Chain A
Amino acid sequence: MLAPRRLLARLFAVVGSVLPLALVAGCGSSTMSTIEGHSDLTRSILDIYGTIFWIDLFLFVLVQGILIVAVIKFRATGKETAPPEQVHGNLQMEVGWTIAPVLILLVIAIPTVSFIFDSQAQAKDDALVVNATGKQWWFKFEYPGYSFETANEIHVPLGRQVDVRLQSDNVIHAFWAPQIAAKRDMVPGRVNHITFTADTVGTFLGQCAEYCQDSHALMKFRVMVDTPEDFEKWANHEKQPVADTNEASDGFKAFQGATCIACHAIAGSSAQARVGPNLTHVGSRTRIAAGLLENNEANLKLWLKDPSAVKPGEGRNGVGMPNLNLTDEQITTLVAYLQSLK
């Protein structure tokens, strides 16, 4: 038997030739595809996925085949003179189709149970620990081994085990990066784990999968798998305070004046609040607004002008980023300042 994963991929390709859209779903680099794995965790999921898929396909063809044959073969002609033979049942057949599913289910259950225990085993001692906290509506990532904090973009090294510790201090969210980490919930009052070892360098998409109100649809994140060298470079840069901590600069004054400082932190400055995302190196992130928008001047301005126009619910009930009613001048200064925080 071929690796079930490869069979699965091939089958989706076959389906795709009928429905070209499935091809789009199954391929391409920046997708949320669940049938493509780039870590030990997601690849072993695909093995089981593939096994079940083939069993399901067989059963589907069997049942629908019998159904279709029966409908064609036994359709009444209207010329029958007497009812058909009145068969009430058959014990052997009943026993047969009770036991057959048991055997089929064993084929599924054994790898399933072994996966459950393997995937939930304690992480290795040298695993990279990332504390991930779900917020309304963004993800906070802390690297305790490196003592820094970032948001919505998580970098992990290739080939090293990562232990993502999932938490929430508000409502339930779910951390779902289909190709790298699969899914687990971020439940208030608990710490859940996902452990995985990425095996492909690249950027992978993730999104909150547990309904968390208004901007649930827009709560995204990215997993960047770097080579170990690149990762160390990134991490060492992240833990540095910003180069320019001159609090007399126009930018920082605007940051204070617009009350950004009440919620956001910039390491190395007097801004230390931990309500919103840490902005120490916000200029070096690829996206803003929880992965929603590209990080550029126009989008930053759009965001500062009215956050709730970009992400519904922001600032409502004291959740998320309020509309600070900034002037265009303030916005221009702030955007320049934020972009300088590389």
Chain B
Amino acid sequence: MANPAHAVPADHAAAPTQSYFMSWLMTTDHKRIGVLYGLSAICFFVLGGIEALVIRTQLAAPGQHIVDAATYNALFTMHGTTMIFLGVMPMSAAFFNYLIPLQIGARDVVFPRLNAFSFWLFLFGAIVLNVPFLLTPFVDMRVIPDGGWFGYATLTEKTYTPGASIDFWICGLQILGVASMAAGFNFIVTIFNLRAPGMSLLRMPVFTWMTLVVQFLVVLSFPCITIALVLLMFDRLFGTHFYMPEGGGDPLLWQHLFWLFGHPEVYILILPAMGIVSEVLPTFSRKPLFGAPFVIFSGITIGLLGFGVWSHHMFTTGLGATSDAAFSVTTMLIAIPTGVKIFNWLATIWGGQLRLTTSMLYALGFVCMFTMGGLSGIMHASPPVDLQQQDSYFVVAHFHYVLFGGAVFGLLSGIYYWFPKMNGRFLSESWGKVIFWILFVGFNTTFFPMHIVGAAGMPRRIYTYDAGLGWETPNLIETVGAFTIAVGVLFFVIDLVRSIRSTSGPLAGPNPWDGSSLEWVTESPPKVHNFDVTPTVYSERPVWEKNYGPGPGYSLPTVEEHIHLPPPSIRPFYLATGVAWFLVSWLVAGQFFTFGVCSALVAVCVILYSCVSWFLEEGH
């Protein structure tokens, strides 16, 4: 029973009988879960980066045979899947987890165990996707996912890809989908229900706002890919023909369902970075975000429009003139709220006192390169131009400007901004600036020439190309750029590890950057229960106004609070195991049908047991 009297302040990790390992396995602390997400994301980002380096090495010169065609196809599939689902999304999730409760003045998310469940399930999904790399030497079939991150039917059907590669991909994505949706419900309710007193919706930090929009996109778009994958799995497993024209199906149904998920997914990747930049630019300009309500409503508009543009990925599939025209116009409409955001960011720094910290450099780099990606996006929003650019390297350049120059730079800005909050000490600023310039130069060296080589007609997803088409030099430059990025990432990882282990260096204190939102009230790193007393908020910039006026900003009531925090729990890990087991069973059923089905039934029992024990678990 919840007995407030003895619960002041209960430490999640304090149970003395727990080993260090078990304390992480059983943690329900949003900050620890955030750290787990962040570290996993960095590992997978490095893995996806290594895949990219092999790809770039192969393409450095025409007609190379560093890897064969099949391996190359697996590599670009895994590079895309990894960077999207295991790199950028969990890195964003790390920030959601760590920051949302701090920014809204809460002690944790609303369902801490569900939060832990999301993380473990994410980790299982990531493992399922990557385990084929280890399996390959031991099996006599293709097992590394090789259907492209978009997995277009009919190629992914059993007829055309008979091995287990697509089954691993389906299973991994299904697991990740459940994990993302569970986190989505959690954060929506957290943001609505756990805000500190006085924090009306429009007083929420912009990062929290963008998180809210992203969670709505997650819970509404992931069901579409879940169904798309289920239908594909049924085709492969039970001989249905949802996507096979021979049986009356239509391969374009896959594309509709996939992009109905896939386009909101693009905003799931970019909106968190936009939120981060909307925090960083004002702080280091020492000004409020210009037109904050407009930035927020632009984010909401982008989210809403994101559900109405999916067919712009299908301009070449022959949907008909009316559909092409309609989706072209809706796609162009998205440029409006996006433009509003960019101009508001520019107006934010205009007239400020800019402190060019590493975090600020990344945020400025974000604005610079995201703009570039947005502008090239306007080109293929127009179907005639898309008929030339679709599936060419021009598009590869476009979305890397959005997702690397945009999302990843935004996330790096966030890492440099909030690292002292998480760690108590800073990342090296001098190294940080060097790394920024390495990455900035490396990034543009890698991806700018892709515009040129794309305009010169180089298609995507080709493992080799002929000399004489004007593709050689840009490709070589791109490869040099890719290794430059690798050097930058290597330095970053070294500095990150060094900083985490460091016990010297200046302490950050609660508010090292003169930030304005509630996380800067807490100690660095925050106490397990975040706030000794829940603050009351009077402004959308509580900490800034407290320091500089004109309003009181926030206040800390003097009433004594009973702090009750959820105790550690192993149930999330059990339930995640059960759910992952259930979904992996269907992967196994692709090769050993009866065994797989029996295993799925056992998994259902594990899930039921975990659910019941979860439901009945006592608070301590």
User: Are A34 and B389 closer than 8 Å at their CB atoms?
Assistant: yes
Residue from B287, B317, B346, B354 in contact with A63 in the complex, judged by beta carbons closer than 8 Å: B346
**Least distance between A153 CB and chain B CB atoms (Å):** 17
**Does B16 make an interface contact (CB < 8 A)?**
no
**Does B596 make an interface contact (CB < 8 A)?**
no
Q: Give chain A residues whose Cβ lies under 8 Å from the Cβ of B325.
A: 112-113, 116-117
**Does B513 make an interface contact (CB < 8 A)?**
no
Residue from B320, B340, B455, B473 in contact with A94 in the complex, judged by beta carbons closer than 8 Å: B340
Q: Give chain B residues whose Cβ lies under 8 Å from the Cβ of A105.
A: 332-333, 335-336
**Least distance between B475 CB and chain A CB atoms (Å):** 10
Q: Give chain B residues whose Cβ lies under 8 Å from the Cβ of A71.
A: 349, 354, 356, 364
**Least distance between A85 CB and chain B CB atoms (Å):** 7
Task: Report A233-272 residues with CB < 8 Å from chain B CB.
Answer: none
Q: Give chain B residues whose Cβ lies under 8 Å from the Cβ of A70.
A: 346, 349-350, 354
Q: Which of B28-36, B38-46, B102-110, B375-383 contacts A (4 or more CB under 8 A)?
A: B375-383
Known: A112-B328, A116-B325. A207 touches B452 (CB 8 A): no
Q: Which of A125-133, A208-216, A299-307, A333-341 contacts B (4 or more CB under 8 A)?
A: A208-216
Tell me, in angstroms, the Cα distance from A179 to B607 when the chains sit together. 57
User: Are A209 and B318 closer than 8 Å at their CB atoms?
Assistant: no
Task: Report B110-124 residues with CB < 8 Å from chain A CB.
Answer: none
**Does A170 make an interface contact (CB < 8 A)?**
yes
Cβ proximity bits B243-255 to A, threshold 8 Å, 1 near / 0 not: 0110001111000
Q: Give chain A residues whose Cβ lies under 8 Å from the Cβ of B351.
A: 74, 84-85, 87
User: Are B368 and A67 closer than 8 Å at their CB atoms?
Assistant: yes
Tell me, in angstroms, the Cα distance from A19 to B450 when the chains sit together. 13
User: Are A60 and B251 closer than 8 Å at their CB atoms?
Assistant: no
Q: Give chain A residues whose Cβ lies under 8 Å from the Cβ of B148.
A: 211
Tell me, in angstroms, the Cα distance from A88 to B472 when the chains sit together. 50
Residue from A32, A84, A89 in contact with B294 in the complex, judged by beta carbons closer than 8 Å: A89
User: Are B350 and A174 closer than 8 Å at their CB atoms?
Assistant: no
**Least distance between A18 CB and chain B CB atoms (Å):** 11
User: Are A45 and B387 closer than 8 Å at their CB atoms?
Assistant: yes
User: Are A209 and B321 closer than 8 Å at their CB atoms?
Assistant: no
Q: How large is the interface on A (under 10, 10 to 19, 20 to 34, 35 or more residues)?
A: 35 or more
Chain B residue nearest to A23 (CB atoms) is B470
**Does A145 make an interface contact (CB < 8 A)?**
no
Residue from B154, B382, B457, B473 in contact with A188 in the complex, judged by beta carbons closer than 8 Å: B154
Known: A49-B388, A101-B335. A188 touches B245 (CB 8 A): yes
Q: Which of A189-197, A221-229, A274-282 contacts B (4 or more CB under 8 A)?
A: A189-197
**Does A160 make an interface contact (CB < 8 A)?**
no
User: Are A217 and B456 closer than 8 Å at their CB atoms?
Assistant: no
User: Are A52 and B336 closer than 8 Å at their CB atoms?
Assistant: no
**Does B437 make an interface contact (CB < 8 A)?**
no
**Least distance between A4 CB and chain B CB atoms (Å):** 12
**Does B372 make an interface contact (CB < 8 A)?**
yes
Q: Give chain A residues whose Cβ lies under 8 Å from the Cβ of B378.
A: 52, 55-56, 108
**Does B556 make an interface contact (CB < 8 A)?**
no
Known: A34-B456, A66-B350, A80-B353. A313 touches B379 (CB 8 A): no
Q: Give chain B residues whose Cβ lies under 8 Å from the Cβ of A75.
A: 354, 356
Chain B residue nearest to A99 (CB atoms) is B336
Q: Which of B66-74, B197-205, B408-416 contacts A (4 or more CB under 8 A)?
A: B66-74
**Does B185 make an interface contact (CB < 8 A)?**
no
Tell me, in angstroms, the Cα distance from A105 to B333 when the chains sit together. 8
Q: Give chain B residues whose Cβ lies under 8 Å from the Cβ of A24.
A: 456, 470, 473
Residue from B287, B328, B474 in contact with A21 in the complex, judged by beta carbons closer than 8 Å: B474
User: Are A119 and B384 closer than 8 Å at their CB atoms?
Assistant: yes
User: Are A183 and B456 closer than 8 Å at their CB atoms?
Assistant: no
Tell me, in angstroms, the Cα distance from A137 to B141 when the chains sit together. 21
User: Are B364 and A67 closer than 8 Å at their CB atoms?
Assistant: yes
User: Are B354 and A76 closer than 8 Å at their CB atoms?
Assistant: yes
User: Are A102 and B336 closer than 8 Å at their CB atoms?
Assistant: yes
Task: Report A6-42 residues with CB < 8 Å from chain B CB.
Answer: 12, 15, 19-22, 24-26, 28, 30-35, 42
Chain B residue nearest to A76 (CB atoms) is B353
User: Are A187 and B317 closer than 8 Å at their CB atoms?
Assistant: yes
**Does A176 make an interface contact (CB < 8 A)?**
yes
**Does A172 make an interface contact (CB < 8 A)?**
yes
Residue from B245, B333, B449, B463 in contact with A217 in the complex, judged by beta carbons closer than 8 Å: B463
User: Are A193 and B318 closer than 8 Å at their CB atoms?
Assistant: yes
**Does B495 make an interface contact (CB < 8 A)?**
no
Tell me, in angstroms, the Cα distance from A119 to B446 when the chains sit together. 35
**Does B290 make an interface contact (CB < 8 A)?**
yes
User: Are A84 and B287 closer than 8 Å at their CB atoms?
Assistant: yes
Q: Give chain A residues whose Cβ lies under 8 Å from the Cβ of B468.
A: 30
Tell me, in angstroms, the Cα distance from A103 to B308 when the chains sit together. 21
Q: Give chain B residues whose Cβ lies under 8 Å from the Cβ of A66.
A: 346, 350
User: Are A213 and B470 closer than 8 Å at their CB atoms?
Assistant: no
User: Are B457 and A32 closer than 8 Å at their CB atoms?
Assistant: yes
Other A-B pairs, 4, CB within 8 Å; known A70-B349, A188-B251: A33-B470, A49-B385, A108-B381, A188-B154
* Chain A residues in the interface with B (C-beta under 8 A): 12, 15, 19-22, 24-26, 28, 30-35, 42, 44-45, 48-49, 52-53, 55-56, 59-60, 63-64, 66-67, 70-71, 74-77, 80, 83-90, 93-94, 97-98, 100-102, 105, 108-109, 112-113, 115-117, 119-120, 136, 166, 170-172, 174, 176, 178, 182-185, 187-190, 192-193, 205, 207-218, 312-313, 317, 319
Complex A-B: 29 CB contacts under 8 Å:
A25-B453, A30-B468, A44-B384, A45-B387, A48-B385, A49-B379, A52-B378, A56-B376, A63-B367, A64-B368, A70-B349, A71-B349, A74-B351, A74-B353, A76-B355, A89-B294, A93-B347, A101-B336, A108-B381, A112-B328, A116-B383, A170-B160, A171-B152, A188-B244, A188-B251, A190-B252, A213-B146, A214-B70, A217-B463
Which 8 pairs of residues, A with B, have the shortest CB-CB distance? A32-B457, A189-B245, A25-B456, A217-B462, A24-B470, A192-B318, A21-B473, A312-B69
* Chain B residues in the interface with A (C-beta under 8 A): 68-70, 73, 146, 148, 152, 154-155, 160-162, 244-245, 249-252, 285-288, 290-294, 316-318, 320-321, 324-325, 328-329, 332-333, 335-336, 339-340, 342-344, 346-347, 349-356, 364, 367-368, 371-372, 375-376, 378-379, 381-385, 387-392, 394, 449, 452-465, 468-474, 477, 548
